[in-house]
Amino acid sequence: MTIRVRYFASLREKMGRIEDTLVAEDIATVADVWKVVGGGLPLPEHILCAVNMEYAEPHTGVSEGDEVAFFPPVTGG
Amino acid sequence: MAVVLCATPFSPYRELEAYQRNLEAGKFGATAVFVGTMRDLNLGDAITRMTLEHYPGMAERRLREIAGEAHLRWDLLDVLVIHRVGEIHPNDSIVLVAAWAAHRGPAFDACRYIVEGLKHSAPFWKKEASPHGERWVESNTPS
């Protein structure tokens, strides 16, 4: 399964990269994605997530070709 | 309904006038407008510049969803949302939200609803340049 993982704003800077491409078979949820990319750290409580550009939760399922994003609270407008 | 992200400075008043010119004359009796403008002060520090980062694709999609929700909830004739991205400076317009309706109630309520929805859920992030260096704005003001 291939998943594109994107980061924005302060989280992007903390991660030191704008995105990852995951190729793995044992990924079922957003939380599983974070386990692979998060460098062993738990998903910070304030960080939001999206799957295919819709807000999601850590337990939201992911599938082949999905785009998962992690980012801090939004501050537009 | 139109949702536009804009990478260069824009005049909300000119955009409003141009957009309204294409609406059906005689139908709308109320236009509620919100314009967000960059200030030169935040948390007690002088701010000289700000960068607006966004999630391309999701930002437009979320704005369209919020405007669509407003259309379902109120009797609206049209909605226009324009949001800046990229580097901005004090006094630049950040956002324009306009709602057209037959009467003021739905126009005001929908405009407010879209502004609040945008503030809470549209994926934009502000990084401001202060005398202490650059910093991410961590949350929006409650109102």
Quick: pLDDT tens for B31-90. Answer: 999 999 999 999 889 999 999 999 999 999 999 999 999 999 999 999 999 999 999 999
Query: What pLDDT score was predicted for residue B97?
Result: 98
Query: What pLDDT score was predicted for residue A7?
Result: 98
Is A11 near chain B, with CB under 8 Å?
no
Query: What pLDDT score was predicted for residue A9?
Result: 98
Q: Are B7 and B79 in contact (CB under 8 A)?
A: no
- Interchain pair A73, B139: CB under 8 A: yes
Is A76 near chain B, with CB under 8 Å?
yes
Residue B140 — pLDDT band, cuts 50, 70, 90? Answer: confident
Burial class (CB in 10 A: 0-12, 13-18, 19+), B25: exposed
Kindly state the helix (H) or strand (E) to which residue B77 belongs, with its residue range: strand B76-84
Give me the phi and psi of A23, to 5 degrees please.
-125, 105
pLDDT tens per residue across span B28-46: 999 999 999 999 999 889 9
Amino acid at the residue B10: F
Mean pLDDT confidence for A36-63: 96
Of the candidates A31, A33, A1, A40, the one whose C-alpha atom is nearest the C-alpha of residue A19 is: A33
- Torsion, CA B67, CA B73, CA B76, CA B80, rounded to 10: -10
Query: What pLDDT score was predicted for residue B59?
Result: 98
Supply the DSSP symbol for A8: -
Which of chain B's residues have a Cβ under 8 Å away from the Cβ of A6?
Answer: 55
Give me the phi and psi of B83, to 5 degrees please.
-130, 130
pLDDT tens per residue across span A1-47: 999 999 999 999 999 999 999 998 899 999 999 999 999 999 999 99
Res. B143: pLDDT tops 90: no
Q: CA-to-CA distance for B28 and B7, rounded, in angstroms?
A: 30
pLDDT tens per residue across span B108-134: 999 999 999 999 999 999 999 998 999
Query: What pLDDT score was predicted for residue A54?
Result: 98
Domain A2-71, CATH among 3.10.20.30, 3.40.718.10, 3.20.20.70, 3.90.1480.20: 3.10.20.30
Q: Which domains does chain B have, with CATH numbers?
A: 2-136 (3.90.1170.40)
Global confidence as pTM: 0.96
**What's the angle, vertex CA A65, arms to CA A62 and CA A66, rounded to 5?**
40
Q: Above 0.90 for ipTM, yes or no?
A: yes
Res. B142: pLDDT tops 90: no
Res. B141: pLDDT tops 90: no
Of the residues B62, B66, B125, B126, the best mutation for testing chain A's interface (the one with the most A CB atoms within 10 Å of its CB) is B125
* Nearest chain B residue (CA) to A10: B136
